[in-house]
Structure 1
Amino acid sequence: MSVADRADSVGARDVLWRFGPMVYLPTLLFALGEGAVIPLIPIIAAQLGAGVATAALVASALVVGQLSGNIPAGWAVARFGERRTMAAAGTISLAGVVGMVFAPGLAVFAVSVLLIGFCAAAFGLARHSFMATRVPLSFRARALSLLGGTFRLGMFVGPFAAAALLAVFGDERAAVWFFGVCLAATVVLVLVGPDPEERFAPAPPAAASAPLVRGDAETEDTGEVVTGSIPTLGRDGVLRTMWRHRGVLSRLGIAAASLSGVRSARQVVLPLWGVSIGLDAQTIALVVGVSGAIDFALFYASGQVMDRFGRLWAALPAMVLMGAGFLALAFTHDLPDAAMWFAMFAAVLGVGNGLSSGILLTLGADVAPPSDPAPFLGSWRTLTDAGGAASPLLVSAVAAVSSLSVATGVMGVVGLLGALAFVRWVPRFVPRHG
C-alpha cells in the first residue's frame, strides 16, 4: 500500500507521527548538538590563537562546508539512498568532532568545522529527499514545516545546553563532546530504527507526488508547466539535472534564495541595530529572544496555510512582512523612541520569519523530479544556502560604505523584490493546490 493510500485510511496526523523516529527525532538530535557547538566555534578558535577576523572566518567554515556539500550530497542520496547517506554523514561528523576536540592548531580545527558543515548538508538533503518522495501532496507542507520546526527547536535549545555544560565543566569542549553524543545517538537511531525506505516506499508519481514541473528525459526545462502523462525517468547525474531544470532554478530558485537571504539578514541586523541605538546586551538578547519565540510559535501555522490555500499564501505575506519590516526599521534609528520601534519591528520580522517556516523545503519538494529528487534538491539547497550566506556579507559591505540604516533598507528592498518574484514564479511552477 502506498503512503497516499495509508494517509487516506489513517489520516495525516498518524502518518506524520510515524515519521517521528525516522526523520524528526534524528533531526532534533543533530540540530541540538550543532546548536550547542555553533556559538562556541569562534571562542575555541580564539583559544587556538585566532584573532577576531580569523575566528569569524573559522566560524564561516561551517556555512562554506554546507554550501559545498549540497551537490555531492545529492549524488550520494541518489546513489546510496537516504538512510545510508544519513548514517555516513553522522559517522563522518564524529570524526569532525574528534578533530575539534583534539585539534593541535587552528588549521585542523577549521578543517574539522568545514567537515561538519559538509556532513550537515548531506544529512539535511537526505531528510528533504525522503520527505519529498514519501509524504502525500495533501499535507506535504505541514510535514516539511514540522521538519523545519524540529530543526529550529534543536538550534534554539542547543545554546542553553551549551551554557549548562559550561557551568558544570568550565570547558568549551564539553559542548563539542555533547555534539558527539548527539551524533552517536543519531547514527544508532538511523541504523537500528525502522527503515523508512522500506516502511514507506515512494508514492507513484501520478498519485501522491505528481511533479508540478514535468518533462521527459529528452525535454529541457524551458520554464513552462507541461501537462500530460508522466514518464518513468532514468536517473540523471547532478550536472545534467541542473541543466534540465535550469528554468525553475534560475527563476523560482532565485526567489527562494532571496527569502533565505532576508532570513539570514534578520539574525545579523537585529543585534547590530540594538548596539547601534545604545541598548545594553541584556535588552538586545530579550528583544531577539522574543522575536525568535514568535518565529518558533508560527512554524506549523505556515504548513497549514500552504496545504489549505496554496504556497503563495504563506510565501507572499512572509516576504512582505520581512521586507516592509526592514524598510520601516531603517527610518527609525534616530527617532526619540528608537528602542520601542526596534522591539516592534523585531516582532514583525519574527512573524514574517515564522510564516516562512518550511516554505523552501516545500517548494523544493514541489518542483523536484519525483522519480529522482536528490540531485535537483542538491542544486536547490545550494541556491538557498548561498542566499543565506551572501546576505550578511551584503549587510556588512553596505554598512561599511554607508550606514547600518542604509544596509537595513537594502535588505527591505531585497525582501519586497523577492515577494514580487514569488508572485511571478510560484503560480507558474507550482499551480495552486491545497
Structure 2
Amino acid sequence: MESRVAGQTVPMMPSTSFYLGPSRPRVHLGTWRELCAAADAGLLQEENQWLECKRDIPRGSDKSRELAKDLASLSVDGGVIVVGAVDKIGDATGLVGVATPEKLSDRISQVATAGISPPLNVVIDVVRDEQDPAGPVCLLVVVPASAGAPHMVDEKYWGRSATDKRVLADHEVRRLLAERTSRVADFEQQLRAMKHDFEPFGEHARNFGHIYLFAKPVMAPSVQVTQVLAPQHPANWIGEFLPGKPEFYPGFTMLGHGVPHAEGLMVTASRPDAPSGGEPGLLQLLLDDQGGIRVTSGSGTRKNGGERCISPNYHLELAHQLVSVSAGILNHYAASRGLWDIGVHATDLRGLKSTFAMNEEHYRYSTWPFQTTDYTCTISASTDEMLDATAAVVERLYGRFARGLGLDTVLFPYDTFAQIGQRVPQGHQ
C-alpha cells in the first residue's frame, strides 16, 4: 500500500483501522485482503457518518464541488471515502477499482486544498492486490478529524447525517467552534500545569529553564497501548520510533529507566533514587493510558563558558523526537491516525542568547537575547502529518521561538532530523 500526503507518495504501514460507528468494531482496510474482507462482510454497503463509498469520481467542476462537500462533511468527526467500491450491492465484494489512481489522487488532493475553506489535509492510500498487479486498484481517502472543522464549501458549513452529507445549522456551527476553542484552551492549561504536575524540581530549586512538551490525541485510541507496551523494556518502544541519532544532544536516547506511575508508563534518564547530572540531566517521559506523551527536560537553558544560554538545536531535536515517537506508537500499536494537540512550554528564557551567538563560527547569525520569560505554543496535526512531515510540524510548533532568537531563517525549514541546526542562510556561506 502507498499513501499520498500533500502530493508526495510515501510507504504506509499495512495495518490501518477505521472507526465506522459505535455498534461496530474498528475495521481494518489497510491491505487488499482486509478491504475485500470488509466488503464481503457487508461493512461497505451502508454509508454512515464515518464512511462513504464511490465507484469513481468523474471530472468536472460540479463533481469536484460535490467531492469537496463530502470531504468537508467528514472532517467534523473524521472518516474515510473508499473510491472504487460500489455501495448497497449484493455481489461478492463490489470492489471495481479505478482506472488511473495516481491522477485521481492528485485531483482529490487539489480539491481538498483549493476547494474547501479552510483547506483540508487528507491522506490518500492506494490499495492494490500485490498478488494480481493487473487487478483493480482502490483509493482510501482518509479524512482525519480536523482542528479547523467545520469546513466551508459554497459558503456553507458541512457535516454528516446518519447516511450522507448535510449543511450544518447555525447552532451546530457555533457549538463546534465553541468546542474547538474549549478543547484548545483545556489542552494549553494541562500543558502549563506540567511545570507543577510533572516536575521533580521545586520552583525555587530550578537554576535552568525547563522544557515541557505534550502530545495528546484528540480521540483516545481503542487500544490501551500502555498495557501492550508494559512487558517491553522502555528503550525498545521508544527507540523503535526514534528518527535518528541526535547530532548535538542525546535526548530520548537517554531514556531507559522505568518508574512506576499511576497514569501510565514513565521513563527517566536516570533513576530518581540515584539521580545523575542534576537538574541539566533531567529528562522524563510519561506515556499515559489515553496515548498522550508528556516530556520534561531540565536543559531548556544551559551554561556555555559560565554564561547561561539557549540551545535551539536541543529544543528542536527534543520536539522532533516527541512528534515522531508519539505518532509512531499510536499508529503502530493502535492503528490510530487521528488528530493530535501538540504543545511546548519553555521557561526562564528572557535575556538569554542562543548558543549560535556564543559560537565564534555562528555568532554573526544572531546576537539578540530572547525577549519574553516563557515560550508557549500549541498546534494541531494529524498522525500522518506527524509521521510523514515531522519537520513541518516542528516548524509550526517552534517557528515563533526561532524568530525570537533571530534564527528563523537559520533553523527552518529543514527536511530530516539530521539537518536540525545545519542550515546556513544565503549570504553566510
What range is the shorter-chain TM-score in?
under 0.3
Q: Which has the higher contact order (CA 8 A, sep 6+)?
A: 1
Provide TM-score, normalisation by structure 1.
0.24
Provide TM-score, normalisation by structure 2.
0.24
Greater Rg by CA: 2
